[in-house]
Each structure stands twice: as C-alpha cells, then as structure tokens.
Amino acid sequence: MNSAVRAGFLFRRLHRCVFRQIERRVLALPLLNFHTLLIQRDCHASVGNLEITDIPDIKDLTQGDPTLEKKLKVIILEMDIWRQEGERVPTQLKPADWKELISLESRSARKKYLLFIWKKEMTKSNEKRKKELKRIDREKLDIPVRDRDAYGLGGNTIFMRIRESTMTNYLNGKLIEAMQFGQELVVDCGYDQYMTRREAKNCAKQLMLLFSDNRMHINPFNLYFCNARKESESIKEFGKLLCIPFEPHFPLNITEKSYLDLFPKQNLVYLTPHCREELLHYDHNAVYIIGAMVDKVHNEPLSLARAKEQGLKMAKLPLDRYLSWGSGSGKSLTLNQMIMILLDLKLSGDWSKALKHVPSRKIMKVYQVDSSAKQFKLNKSKDEKSSPKDFYNQLLLKKMKK
C-alpha cells in the first residue's frame, strides 16, 4: 500500500479506536437469546420477561417520576409484543438507548429507533459469525501467522517507516502554523435546537470529517467552532468521536462565544444557500461562516434568518453558474464537502477546481449515442474531470470540423 492510503487508514484508527473508551455493555435480558429459543421448541415467551428493575440506572432514567415509570413499563411491554409479532426488535439495549427511547414521543418513532438498534446488533453478530468461519477456514489452511506490523519480503522494505504519531505531530504542527498565520473560518454550531437526535449525530460526524479534511490539506484554515455549547447533542457526540477536542492543547478553537464577539463585524460573511448574492471572488481577509446544521427535517431558511438578524453580509456558492445540476438529491452540501471547496478555492482561486468536491451523483450527466459505433458513450459535463484521452479526442473532433 502506498503511504498516502496508509495514512488514511491510520487516521481512521486514530479517530475511532486509539483513544476511545470502551463503554460497558450491559445485558438487559441476561438469559434470553435467539439461539436458545430455537433449541427450546415448545417454550413460550410470556410477557413481562423483562422487569423494570432489570434495566440499569433506572433511577437516573425516570428520576422517580411515576408517569415516566409507567411509560417505561408500557414501552417494555410494547417491545415484547413486537417481538412476539415477529417485528425486528433488539434483545439488548444500553442505558443511553433506554434514555432515548423514553424521550421519543410517538409509537412509530420508537419502532424506527428499535429497528436501528436491531440492525446494529445484527451487523455485529453477523460479523462475529463470519469472523469465526474465516478463522476456522484459515486454521484448516495452516498459514503461518505473521506479526501485524511486519512488512513483506522477509521483513525488509526500502521505505522508512512513518509512524502514526509522526504524522499526527506533523499535521498538528501545520494547524498551529495556520492558527498563527492563516485565515480563520467559523463554524456556527448554534443550531442544535432545530435538529433531531439523528441529525445531531450526523452533524457531529460531519464536523469530525471537516476537522480531519482541514488538517490534511496543504493549507489549512484556523478553525473556530462558535456557539458550541458542551450540553448540545451535536457537540457531545463530536466529543465522543474525537476524545480530546476540549483540552487546551488540541489545535481547535471551540468556544461558547459567538463570532460577533471574536471578529469585527465588517469582516464576517455568512455562507447561506438561501440568499441571492453569489460568492464570485474569494476574499482572503474575510472571515467566512458556515452553519453546522443537517436540515433533513427543518427546511426553513434558518441561516438566512440568523444572518439577517445580525446584519451580516451573506453569500452563496455559485453552484448554478458553474455546474449543471442533475435530478439526484438536492442542492445541500455536507460540511466536509463545503470545507474542501473552500480550501481548494483558497489555494487556487479557481471555482472549477474547487467545485470538483461536489459529489458527481448530484451533477447532470449527458449520455450520447455514437452513431458510427452504435454504442453508448459517456460524455461528462465540461466541469468534470475528463481523462486526457477524452480531451484529445474532442480537440481532434474540433479540428476535423474546421
């Protein structure tokens, strides 16, 4: 594997596994297991298998409120009934899952949430099973076990080993340099009250990807996460994904303050898709603001309303000007796509290079019939990456027409 790809995989480990605490998995149903049920053919699963006292941290969940306790009993019964009807309901729930289940208002929301937990459970058990089978197959083949970190070719390689910590230190150093000399970029995290829990989790993941994309780039921004309250769902989840973002040595500025307190107002430009002016010329002295919101549920122009209220300049990306938009998925871009566009724009000043980070599924593709060969040829829109061969062919065609 070449070093760049390896760096990517290592980053994945860094963000996900290296510093993460392993949560204690608590069994809610100690004995009930699908496999044992299959064996005991004439058993009957009576209702109330799970008692309310079996749930850990029950006091924290209900806080002694009798209506909440009653609701919890109803929810447990509901789960049992769904299981008896053959619906997809998980067998084990963590304390955080119970908390979220109580807070959901409607039956259909609870059903969807339980389906989500069931899917996670099944994926895990399937992976485990496959791993077991693979292990058995490998034992049969009798391959010698290699040390995970050893290189091939007898343990030799001409490349110098680059360790994770070296890469981390190098990239953090670039971030520190950006904090001293680079341009600032503000991410406005104050939209938590408009997002559902699922959206908040998606937002946290996008924030993590935004941070990592920024760090990996040759010319990073000095990132500020403003209006980031530690109690908000998205920031809490973000803290779980990167375990050390709130420590002072971490190269990221997370504050509860607003960007109005940190930067002079005339430099601020809010990037919102609901306004009319396009951002045609990138200003290296301006402080651009991106709203950290996943708006699958709330479709209102919230960022526009905020910018209007605070009297800030607004701009939107010139997507219509440079790209022919296709019919697949709307014009919303994720946070990491946004920051890649801005990073490349800052570097090159060229919109066609920057907008390459818009996913190609959103852009219209034109299929052309080549009448001579009677084949379908894929002809991409002119702003997309075209291979040198296509470009040369088009040049030839133009010359022949003349």
Partner 1 sequence: MARRVSSLCKATQWSILKNFVSGPVTVVYSQQLYHTQRKLLTASTSRLPFFTCYRYQHQQSRDSDESDDNDVPRVQRMKEHESILRDVIARGEPLSKDEWNKVKQEVFNLNSFVNAENIDAIIMGLCIGEKQFAVGSSLLDSLRESGISPNTATLARFLKLCYDCKAGDEESVLEICNEIRNRCPVLDASTADNVIHGLALTSRWQEGLELLSEIRLSAVPISASFNVLAEAAFKNGELKLGWELMEQMLQLERRPTPPVYKAWIDQCMRTKGSEASVMIGQLLDFWADHDLRPSLDVAEHLRSWFEHDKYSWEGCFTTISPRGSCQNCRTVLRKRKITTAEFEAMRKEFFEQVIVGSNVFLKSNPEELETFQQFLSRTAPYDVVIDGLNIAYSSGRLRPQQAVKALESVVQHFATRKKRMLVLGRRHMQNWPQKEMNYIHEHAFVFLAQNLSQDDPFLLYAAMYSGPFTQFVSRDLMRSHVYLLKDSSLRRIFRRWQQQRQLQLIRAISGHVTIMPPLSYNPSVQQGPGAVWHVPYDTEFKVQPKQMFEPPRHWLCLREASQCS
Q: Which of residues 19-78 bind partner 1 (CB under 8 A)?
A: 34, 37-38, 40-48, 67, 70-71, 73-75, 77-78
Minimum distance between the CB of residue 29 and partner 1, rounded to whole angstroms? 13
Tokens of 68: 């909440």
Query: What phi and psi, each to the nearest 5 degrees, are found at residue 289?
Result: -115, 130
Tokens of 189: 């995290």
Beta bridge partners of 199: none
224 three-state secondary structure = strand
Q: Quickly tell me which residue has 């605490």 as its tokens.
A: 21
Q: Which is nearer to partner 1, 128 or 230 (CB)?
A: 128
Minimum distance between the CB of residue 155 and partner 1, rounded to whole angstroms? 26
Minimum distance between the CB of residue 91 and partner 1, rounded to whole angstroms? 10
280 three-state secondary structure = coil
**Pairing verdict, β 313-315 and 287-291:** unpaired
Residue 302 binds to partner 1 (criterion: CB under 8 A): yes
**Pairing verdict, β 287-291 and 184-188:** parallel
Residue 119 binds to partner 1 (criterion: CB under 8 A): yes
- 175 HSE (CA, 13 A, CB side): 20
Minimum distance between the CB of residue 374 and partner 1, rounded to whole angstroms? 15
Considering only the stretches 17-25, 80-88, 239-247, 278-286, report the one whose residues sit in contact with partner 1 under the rule CB under 8 A.
80-88
Nearest Cα to Cα of residue 312 among 257, 270, 259: 270
Binders in 213-272 for partner 1, by CB under 8 A: 213, 216-217
- C-alpha dihedral, 136 to 137 to 142 to 148, nearest 10°: -80
Q: Which is nearer to partner 1, 255 or 304 (CB)?
A: 304
Tokens of 6: 């390896």
Residues that bind partner 1 (rule: CB under 8 A) add up to a total of 72
Beta bridge partners of 270: 289, 314
- Given 80, 177, 278, 383, the residue binding partner 1 (CB under 8 A): 80
- Given 29, 30, 103, 123, the residue binding partner 1 (CB under 8 A): 123
Minimum distance between the CB of residue 157 and partner 1, rounded to whole angstroms? 20
Q: Where are the alpha helices (DSSP H) in 142-196?
A: 152-155, 164-181
Binders in 145-204 for partner 1, by CB under 8 A: none
Binders in 371-400 for partner 1, by CB under 8 A: 376, 378, 385, 387
- Given 178, 209, 333, 355, the residue binding partner 1 (CB under 8 A): 209
Minimum distance between the CB of residue 203 and partner 1, rounded to whole angstroms? 15
- What's the DSSP call for residue 30? S
Binders in 326-365 for partner 1, by CB under 8 A: 328, 336, 340, 357, 359-361, 365
Q: What is the distance between the alpha carbons of residues 251 and 258, in angstroms, rounded to a whole number?
A: 19
Residue 5 binds to partner 1 (criterion: CB under 8 A): yes
Considering only the stretches 223-231, 255-263, 281-289, 295-303, report the one whose residues sit in contact with partner 1 under the rule CB under 8 A.
295-303
